[in-house]
Amino acid sequence: MGLNLAQKIIKAHLVGGSMETGAEAALRIDQTLTQDATGTMAYLEFEAMGIDRVRTERSVAYIDHNTLQSGFENADDHRYIQSVAEKHGIWFSRPGNGICHQVHLERFGVPGKTLIGSDSHTPTAGGLGMLAFGAGGLDVAVAMGGGAYYINMPRVIRVELRGALRPFVTAKDVSLEILRILTVKGGVGRIIEWGGEGVRTLSVPERATITNMGAELGATSSIFPSDEITRAFLKAQGRERDYTPLEADPDAGYERVITIDLSALEPLIACPHMPDNVVPVASLRGTKVDQVCIGSCTNSSLYDMLKAAALLKGRTVAPSVSMSVSPGSRQVLTMLSDCGALSDILSAGARLLECACGPCIGMGFSPNSAGVSLRTFNRNFEGRSGTRDAKVYLVSPETAVASALTGEITDPRTLSLAALDVRLPERFRVDDSAVLPPAPPERAADVTVLRGPNIKAIPEGKPVGDELEAELTLKVGDNITTDHIMPAGARILPYRSNVPKLSQYCFEVCDSSFPERARAAGESVVVGGVNYGQGSSREHAALVPLYLGVRAVIAKSFARIHAANLVNAGIMPLTFANPDDYEKLTQGQKLRIRNVHRGMESGCMTLEADGTEIPLVCSFTPRQIAVLKAGGLLNYTREENA
Ligand code: MIC
Ligand code: SF4
Q: With contact defined as beta carbons under 8 Å apart, do 64 and 33 qualify?
A: no
**Residue 572 β-bridge partners:** 552
Confidence at residue 163, expressed as pLDDT on a 0 to 100 scale: 98
Ligand 2 pocket, residue 348 CB under 6 Å? no
Residue ranges with strand state E in 477-541? 524-527
What percentage of the chain exceeds 70 in pLDDT? 100
Per-residue pLDDT tens digits for 229-285:
999 999 999 999 999 999 999 999 999 999 999 999 999 999 999 999 999 999 999
Burial class of residue 641, CB neighbours in 10 A (0-12, 13-18, 19+): exposed
Q: Average per-residue pLDDT in the chain?
A: 97
521: part of which helix (H) or strand (E)?
helix 514-521
List of long-range contacts for 232-237, beta carbons under 8 Å, 24+ apart: 232/424, 233/128, 233/203, 233/204, 233/205, 233/424, 234/128, 236/424, 236/425, 236/426, 236/427, 236/428, 237/106, 237/107, 237/428, 237/430
Same fold, 5-264 and 269-414: yes
Residues near 197 by Cβ (< 8 Å), separated by ≥ 6?
161, 162
> What is the four-CA torsion angle of 504, 506, 509, 511, rounded to 10 degrees?
-80
Report pTM.
0.98
Residues near 265 by Cβ (< 8 Å), separated by ≥ 6?
165, 166, 169, 173, 174, 177
Span from the CA of 38 to the centroid of ligand 2 (angstroms) = 12
Per-residue pLDDT tens digits for 76-115:
999 999 999 999 999 999 999 999 999 999 999 999 999 9
> What is the four-CA torsion angle of 206, 211, 213, 217, rounded to 10 degrees?
140
pLDDT band at 387 (very low <50, low <70, confident <90, very high): very high
With CA atoms as reference, report the closest residue to 153 among 599, 560, 562, 601.
560
Domain residues of the chain, as ranges?
5-264, 269-414, 468-641
**Angle in degrees, 0-180, between the axes of helices 36-49 and 633-641, rounded to the nearest 10:** 30
With CA atoms as reference, report the closest residue to 402 among 270, 272, 289, 296.
289
Which sign does the torsion angle of CA 627, 631, 634, 639 carry?
A: negative
With CA atoms as reference, report the closest residue to 382 among 509, 214, 533.
509
Which sign does the torsion angle of CA 254, 256, 261, 262 carry?
A: negative
Span from the CA of 99 to the centroid of ligand 2 (angstroms) = 8
User: Which numbered atom of ligand 2 lies nearest the CA of 300?
Assistant: 8
Q: With contact defined as beta carbons under 8 Å apart, do 122 and 133 qualify?
A: yes
Mutational pocket test of ligand 1: of 482, 509, 543, the residue with most ligand atoms within 8 Å of the beta carbon: 482
Topology of the domain comprising 269-414: Aconitase; domain 3 (3.30.499)
Confidence at residue 456, expressed as pLDDT on a 0 to 100 scale: 94
Span from the CA of 41 to the centroid of ligand 1 (angstroms) = 13
Strands 322-325 and 391-394: unpaired
Span from the CA of 360 to the centroid of ligand 2 (angstroms) = 6
pLDDT band at 593 (very low <50, low <70, confident <90, very high): very high
Architecture of domain 468-641: Alpha-Beta Barrel (3.20)
How does 324-334 read in b/e, with b if 16+ C-beta sit within 10 Å?
Answer: bbbbbbbbbbb
The residue-averaged pLDDT of 509-530 equals: 97
Mutational pocket test of ligand 1: of 505, 536, 540, 544, the residue with most ligand atoms within 8 Å of the beta carbon: 536
Confidence at residue 607, expressed as pLDDT on a 0 to 100 scale: 98
Confidence at residue 625, expressed as pLDDT on a 0 to 100 scale: 98
User: Which numbered atom of ligand 1 lies nearest the CA of 118?
Assistant: 14
pLDDT at 640 over 90: no
Q: Tell me 376's DSSP state.
A: S
Which sign does the torsion angle of CA 179, 180, 186, 192 carry?
A: negative
Span from the CA of 330 to the centroid of ligand 2 (angstroms) = 16
Amino acid at 523: E
pLDDT at 169 over 90: yes
Confidence at residue 53, expressed as pLDDT on a 0 to 100 scale: 98
Confidence at residue 642, expressed as pLDDT on a 0 to 100 scale: 79
C-alpha dist (Å) from residue 290 to 271, 346, 365, 387, 443: 15, 18, 12, 13, 53
Which sign does the torsion angle of CA 78, 117, 509, 549 carry?
A: negative
Confidence at residue 641, expressed as pLDDT on a 0 to 100 scale: 81
CATH superfamily name and code, 5-264 = Aconitase, domain 3 (3.30.499.10)
User: Which numbered atom of ligand 1 lies nearest the CA of 215?
Assistant: 13
Please work out, in degrees rounded to the nearest 5, the angle formed at the alpha carbon of residue 170 by the alpha carbons of 165 and 174: 85
Ligand 1 site residues (CB inside 6 A) read 37-38, 65, 119-121, 134, 361, 379, 488, 535-538
pLDDT band at 493 (very low <50, low <70, confident <90, very high): very high
The overall longest dimension of the chain from CA atoms, in Å, is 72
Q: With contact defined as beta carbons under 8 Å apart, do 132 and 123 qualify?
A: yes
What percentage of the chain exceeds 90 in pLDDT? 98
pLDDT band at 590 (very low <50, low <70, confident <90, very high): very high
Burial class of residue 339, CB neighbours in 10 A (0-12, 13-18, 19+): middle
| Atom 13 of ligand 1, nearest CA residue | 536
Per-residue pLDDT tens digits for 555-578:
999 999 999 999 999 999 999 999
- Phi and psi at 137, nearest 5°, equal -60, -35
